[in-house]
Amino acid sequence: MKLRVPAAAALAAATAATLATLSSPALASASAATAAKPAAKPAVKDAATALRVRPLTGAAVFYSYTDRIGIDRYEPGKGFTRIGTPSDNFEFAASPDGRKVAWITPRGEVKVSQSGRVTTIAKGAVNGGPCLTPTWSPDSRRVAFVNPSKTDASPVTIVNLDGTGRRKAGVTEGVCHLTWSGDGRYLAGYAGSANGVHKLDLQTGKTVKAKGIAYPTHVQSLSPNGRNVIVHMVRRGEPQGDGGWPSQFTPTVVDTVTGKKLPIPVKGRLVGALYLADGRLVVRVAGRTHNDLVVLDATGKRLQTLTEPAKAKNLGLLQVVR
């Protein structure tokens, strides 16, 4: 493995994937509750309506590189709560539920912080550069991480939160800033050589190189069905950085099959974006005193605009909590 210093009318292509997520636990439970009432209205039939009745609260997970790395959960009305302080190697990730943090120690241990307690759930991870971050499954119950390799392609291991169920998921060149699709099927990351983004199919164990992505320096997230990826790219010859989590970045949404860049229908200076497992796209927009989070459905329709706390203006955004 080589390591160098180190959406949208068009998002309608993801609409089918979002509709499919109505079978996810969160949406399915709500539909079941609706159907259980004899006189209730028919169960939700379209994703946009399903998403509108579950507005985001503004809860999110932020991180800071000031002094030691600190990862905090923010909730409106409650403020910031520290949920993790990883060792200073930049290889960390917050869970989608916003309550847990995983990181890799210099000895290759996979640590998890939850409810104020730190445990070791696995060993044998690579600690070879700031981009080799672990990633969480959509249900926040499993962690994936990279194992050592003498080639560009490296094995990836998945383990349960309690340390059980360890298994090899496959081999990929996309080892940097791993992210997990909302349907649970795909992992994606960029190559340490910055030659592209690679997607690992957890059902088949096979990997493919995404089209249309050159000189990536960050992978933020995948659409629920793994088709679209949010990345940050630089031009040939521009600095690639050190592979650490970027506090802010200009997001680009790419269809990994066609290589097409999908527009993000949000005005302003975009400094981040991420997909939620239910199909919503959350876009971070820079402001003078605070940043905003613009929430879109799979067709690009605006569902919400949330105001981040002023304290988070220069912090990195790891998760937006459903």
Asked, for residue 308, whether it belongs to a domain, the answer is no
Judge whether residue 315 has pLDDT over 60. Answer: yes
Q: For 148-162, 233-247, 266-280, 284-298, which range has the lowest pLDDT when averaged over its residues?
A: 233-247
**pLDDT tens readout for residues 193-240:** 778 999 999 999 999 999 999 999 999 999 999 999 999 998 766 665
Return the CATH number at 206. Answer: 2.120.10.30
User: In the prediction, which pLDDT does 241 show?
Assistant: 60
Judge whether residue 22 has pLDDT over 50. Answer: no
**pLDDT tens readout for residues 250-290:** 999 999 999 999 999 999 999 999 999 999 999 999 999 99
Asked, for residue 295, whether it belongs to a domain, the answer is no
Judge whether residue 18 has pLDDT over 70. Answer: no
Q: Which domain covers residue 134, as residue numbers?
A: 60-266
Asked, for residue 82, whether it belongs to a domain, the answer is yes
| Distance from C-alpha of 320 to C-alpha of 298, rounded to nearest angstrom | 17
**Residue scoring higher pLDDT (32 or 74):** 74
Asked, for residue 223, whether it belongs to a domain, the answer is yes
User: In the prediction, which pLDDT does 292 show?
Assistant: 98
| Distance from C-alpha of 312 to C-alpha of 63, rounded to nearest angstrom | 9
